[in-house]
Amino acid sequence: MAKLYFIYSAMNAGKSTILLQSAYNYRERGMQVMLWTSGHYRDGEADTADICSRIGLKAEAHLYRERDDLFETIAACKNDQPIDAVFVDEAQFLVRDQVWQLARVADALGVPVMCYGLRTDFQGKLFPGSAELLAIADQLREVRTICHCGRKATMTARLDAEGKAITEGAQVDVKKSHYVSLCRRHWEEVTDIH
């Protein structure tokens, strides 16, 4: 029985690397996979973009935007060719309906769906897509990374050009900010949010 998975972590834990390695493993066994990544912060109307890892791995993926019906698109593609698994990078940017669409891909089409993303934003708040995935995914997996102190990093801080924590603003800003993963204690010290 196919399942909906949510693989989550703080920034820089290697989620995209794991996704690309898993997709490679499927392909190596002659299976067909469909890769998706967010069009959330990409300009233009392109249909594809690369999923890139920090260690240099990359693969072309379909872009999803808020208006897209992922179930309909995946079902139509599955009618043309077999799809053995669906991989979604940057799953925190999914909207609630898209998470349910992906659940239907697993339930109605029998295709496992692996969603990789951040759990919380720089303010320690759940992303909408992550909240829905935490609520309905069949299986949750945490990818661990470490804080500079050596403890498990569970939080992400957004830093400005001078390295000072930004505590207000849009939930996502990949063009002007730098992100760092921290344990909860160091995140709270740096951000002074609570």
Residues annotated as part of the active site: 90
**Beta carbons of 102 and 115 less than 8 angstroms apart:** yes
Region of residue 35 (left: phi > 0; alpha: psi -120 to 50; beta: else): beta
